[in-house]
Structure 1
Amino acid sequence: MTNYHRTGSRWIRWLAALSVVVFLIIAAFGGMLASNYKHLGTLLEVIHLVRTRYLEPVSATTLVDGAIRGLVKSLNDPYSVYLDPGEYARLQEQIRGSFGGLGILVGIKDEYLTVVRSYPDTPAQRAGIKQGDVITRIDGRDARGMDLDTAVSMMRGAVGTEVKLTIARKGVPQPWDVKLVREEISVPTVEGRMISGKGIGYISLTQFTEKTPEELEATISRLKKEGMRAVLLDLRNNPGGELRSAVKVASYFIPRGPVVYIQYRSGREETYASEGKNLNLPLVVLINRASASAAEILAGAVKDTRAGILVGEKTFGKGIVQTVFDLDNGAGLKLTTARYLTPSRHDIHKKGITPDVVVEQEPQAEVDLQLERAIEILESEMARAA
Structure 2
Amino acid sequence: MKNICVFLKKYFSLGKRRFILAALLVNIVGGSFLSFSALNSFHQPSGETPDYYKPYLKLLKEVYTLMDKNYYKPVSEKVYKAFVEKYKQCILSKLREKKKMVNKIAYIGAGLLVNKLRDPEDTFTNFIPPKKAKKYSQKVYGYENGIGISGYLTEKGYVIDHVQIRSDAYQKGIKSGDIILKIDDHPVTSLTKEEIKGYLYPPLGTTVKLEIFSPPKKTTSVYKVLCKKYFIETIKNIPTGMPGVYYLKIKSFNRKTADDLKDYIRRFGENNIDLLIIDLTDNPGGPPLAVVELSGIFLPPKTKMVYYEKKNIPKFGLVAPPSDVHYDGALIILVNKKSGSASEILAGIFKAYHRALIMGKSSTAGFAFLKTTFTLENGCMLTMIVGKAYLFNGTPLDRRGVVPDYTISNDVKDIAKYVFDKIKSGELDSWVSRHQ
Task: Specify the TM-score bucket, using the shorter chain as the normaliser.
Answer: 0.5 to 0.7
Q: Which residue of 1 aligns with 2:384?
A: 335
Kept in 1: contact 2:144–2:231 (CA 8 A) = yes
Correspondence 1:226-375 to 2 at 5 A: 227-256=272-301, 257-277=303-323, 278-313=326-361, 314-362=363-411, 364-365=413-414, 368-373=417-422
Candidates 156, 160, 178, aligned match of 2:198: 160
Partner-residue secondary structure (3-state), 1:62: helix
- Matching residue's letter, 2:421: E
Partner-residue secondary structure (3-state), 1:295: helix
Candidates 102, 105, 110, aligned match of 1:60: 102
**How far did 1:382 drift?**
8.6
Residues of 2 paired with 1:355 and 1:234: CA distance? 13
Q: Which runs of 5+ in 1 are unaligned?
A: 1-13, 102-119, 127-157, 162-183
**How far did 1:97 drift?**
2.9
**How far did 1:334 drift?**
0.7
Candidates 241, 246, 270, aligned match of 1:196: 241
Larger radius of gyration between Structure 1 and Structure 2: 2
Q: Name the TM-score, length of structure 1 as normaliser.
A: 0.65
**How far did 1:224 drift?**
1.2
**How far did 1:221 drift?**
0.8
Partner-residue secondary structure (3-state), 2:269: helix
Q: Which residue of 2 aligns with 1:220?
A: 265
Residues of 2 paired with 1:90 and 1:23: CA distance? 25
Structure 1 residues 280-312: Cα deviation after superposition (integer angstroms, max 9, x where no partner): 111121222222111111000101111121122
| Cα 1:84–1:122 shift into 2, 3 Å | farther
- Matching residue's letter, 2:263: A
**How far did 1:258 drift?**
1.8
Residues of 2 paired with 1:36 and 1:292: CA distance? 30
- Matching residue's letter, 1:203: L
Q: How many residues align?
A: 300
Q: Name the TM-score, length of structure 2 as normaliser.
A: 0.58
Q: Which residue of 1 aligns with 2:132?
A: 87
| Cα 1:38–1:69 shift into 2, 3 Å | closer
Kept in 2: contact 1:260–1:271 (CA 8 A) = yes
- Matching residue's letter, 1:307: R
Root-mean-square deviation (Å): 4.1
Residues of 2 paired with 1:349 and 1:122: CA distance? 42
Q: Which runs of 5+ in 2 are unaligned?
A: 1-48, 69-75, 154-158, 160-195, 200-228
| Cα 1:252–1:35 shift into 2, 3 Å | closer
Residues of 1 paired with 2:82 and 2:276: CA distance? 62
Residues of 2 paired with 1:382 and 1:38: CA distance? 57
Partner-residue secondary structure (3-state), 1:195: coil
